[in-house]
Amino acid sequence: MEQQQKKKSILSGIQPTGVFTLGNYIGAVKNWAPMQDEFDCAYMIADLHAITVRQDPKVFKQQILSCYALLLSCGIDPEKSIVFIQSQNKNHAQLSWVLSCYTQFGELSRMTQFKDKSAKHADNVNAGLFTYPSLMAADILLYQADLVPVGADQTQHLELTRNIANRFNGIYGNVFKIPEGYVPKAGAKIMSLADPTKKMSKSDENPNACILILDEKDQIIKKFKRAVTDSEMEVCYREGKDGINNLMTIYGAVTGKSMDEITAEFAGKGYGDFKVAVGEAVADHLRPVREEYARLMADKAYLESCYRKGAELSERISRRTLEKVMKKVGFIL
């Protein structure tokens, strides 16, 4: 009998910064559940990364738990994947320190995210903000991940991770697997409902600009009714119709319909009908996520059993790599 080919391993991390937007969901999170059948997945709540920015401890604790529950609500299965909270596995911080001694100052100072975030948080340009790419390298290399999903803003970090791994391997032999970037099947890019030339963001000052995946049905429909469109009345996808193009993209993402099918469905109907239809389709699509999230948040014991199991599994798998590294460097174990 032919031996089954071993699945490739993949690691994804998400910072616990509150509820996902519809943009996060359609663009990325929605695609994570199907990945579990194709790969050996590890999903991490990157809470250590989040403290480069000051956090309110009570809110932060709640957001970590909420983010964990949200991942499960979106179809991440703790029986299929390792789903864990980064700070509960001390191997991350330990390997991070070792790797920071194999990361060059010049490499870190070239990171564009450091420059951007320093400008944004000028009153708190801390050392963690500077060195967190070494922690990110530790996150990836601990699991000997084959693949790391990367967006445009993460390619530089992955390149640095590969450089660190190659440098370490060059000195000590073949310790780390060199990870490749993985571009997931692109979910659509979702724009703001108030200004369709900008990406949807929860930091938008206009509360109607952004749909959060836990918004109630009434809220969702109300926000779509207020969505910016244009002065024409034809539902069709073409240049110059940014607002309608965005609504059609959203409708297509949640219904699976093509742009031509959507155009045919709304031929002769006004924008008002179309906006309500989009709102209802989105609310219906997100209802199972909202319901599962409410159920999980009401069952703290189950959530705890999942994240404790995730911590144990992640610790066990990553310990092998960490011990190999410590021995190679010369530490007494």
Cα-Cα end-to-end distance for the chain? 42
List, for residues 145-194, the tens digit of each pLDDT value: 999 987 666 788 899 999 999 999 999 999 999 999 987 765 678 999 99
Split at pLDDT 50, 70, 90, the class of 215 is very high
* pLDDT at residue 3 tops 70: no
- All structural domains of the chain, each given as residue ranges with its CATH number in brackets, are 9-187+300-329 (3.40.50.620), 207-294 (1.10.240.10)
Per-residue b/e over 152-183, b at no fewer than 16 CB within 10 Å?
eebebbbebbbbbbebbeeebeebbbebeebe
The residues that are catalytic are: 117, 199, 202
Average pLDDT, the chain: 92
pLDDT at res. 185: 67
List, for residues 252-295, the tens digit of each pLDDT value: 999 999 999 999 999 989 899 999 999 999 999 999 999 999 99
List, in sequence order, every residue forming a beta bridge with 11; answer none if it has no partner.
42
pLDDT at res. 116: 77
Q: How far apart are CA 314 and CA 320, in angstroms?
A: 11
pLDDT at res. 152: 63
CA angle 139, 144, 150 (to 5 degrees): 60
pLDDT at res. 283: 97
pTM assigned to the model: 0.89
